[in-house]
Structure 1
């Protein structure tokens, strides 16, 4: 029965011969895998924007001139201190020439403000002090090498 079934299916039998159908070897040689990897995004720079270069730009003790950017930030991670201005996008900049000084100070927020109620109401209930980093620009004292010539 197996020989009749084998002949009907086209099996090749006998010693040293394969048990695959005679046309199955052509099927096996046609099956191929991909020889190249699919195109990735390693070189596709079109859709990726450049970095915004946020963060602390000037450190403690550095000398800065008027208008120098000190910090670029999204929120208010750092707060402006003495002789430091704040821009519309929360950028801190020096208003006068001088040396940068960073301090960490305790903040007493206005808990009645709607932003504090919305985002930090859970901190009010915990009664934990809030500390923030302030940026200050300390101006150099001017030299007093003048003498009074005449008084009006």
Structure 2
């Protein structure tokens, strides 16, 4: 037996239903809400359906992070008696371990560099801090007659010859 569908009754059934308008709301924490609102002719009715998004449990704390990091390579780069050009780095330091002497400059990160071409010399000298510095306040606590010795890095410039000898070229 052949079954026939009554399309007129089906369309008549759908026409009797109120027109429904649906939209989705985006809420915090990845929850979306589907709201169904009927048309203005029928009484107002709202239905909400909460859909929860994917979530992950918070991770725990980890220990021993960064304990095996490589060193910063601080230290002297040129030894006593080495020849250097202007601009060469003589020493890198985190705290001031070596002080700049003659023909030596100090950078923003306490790096010592040569100001002229010459030979590097390390010397121990008596250190007199500026009067208004914190070091001078700590020196007042030292016994009378005590002196501070600090290591200074100096560059001895290369002497230029004043007299030139003519060389015969054949």
TM range (shorter): 0.5 to 0.7
Q: Decide which of 115, 124, 143 is 2:134's aligned counterpart.
A: 115
CA-to-partner distance for each residue in 1:6-36, whole Å, 9 max, x for gaps? xxxxxxxxxxxxxxxxxxxxxxxxxxxxxxx
Larger strand proportion of the pair: 2
**Shift in alpha-carbon separation, 1:114–1:138, aligned structure 2, 3 A:** closer
Match in the other structure for 1:138: 156
**Structure 1 unaligned blocks of 5 or more:** 1-43, 148-152
Q: How does 1:3-152 map to 2 (within 5 A)?
A: 48-110=68-130, 112-116=131-135, 122-123=141-142, 125=143, 127-144=145-162, 145=164
Q: Could you tell me how far apart the structure 2 residues matched to 1:114 and 1:99 are?
A: 31
Query: When the two structures are superposed, what TM-score results if normalisation uses the length of structure 2?
Result: 0.52
| Runs ≥4 residues deviating over 4 A | 44-47, 117-121
Aligned length: 103
Does the residue aligned with 1:116 lie in a helix, a strand or coil?
Answer: helix
Deviation string, structure 1 residues 96-131 (Cα, Å, up to 9, x no partner): 111001111111223x424226655533x4542100
RMSD: 2.6
In the superposition, the TM-score normalised over structure 1's length comes to 0.57
Distance in 1 (alpha carbons) for counterparts of 2:110 and 2:117: 20
CA distance in 1, matches of 2:94, 2:153: 16
The answer to whether the 8 Å contact 2:119/2:155 transfers is yes
Deviation at 1:64, TM superposition (A): 0.7
CA displacement 1:35-63 (0-9 Å, x = unmatched) = xxxxxxxxx99663321111111111000
Q: CA deviation digits over 1:41-99, x for unaligned, max 9? A: xxx99663321111111111000111111111112211111110000111100111110
Q: What are the ranges of 5 or more consecutive residues in structure 2 without an aligned counterpart?
A: 1-63
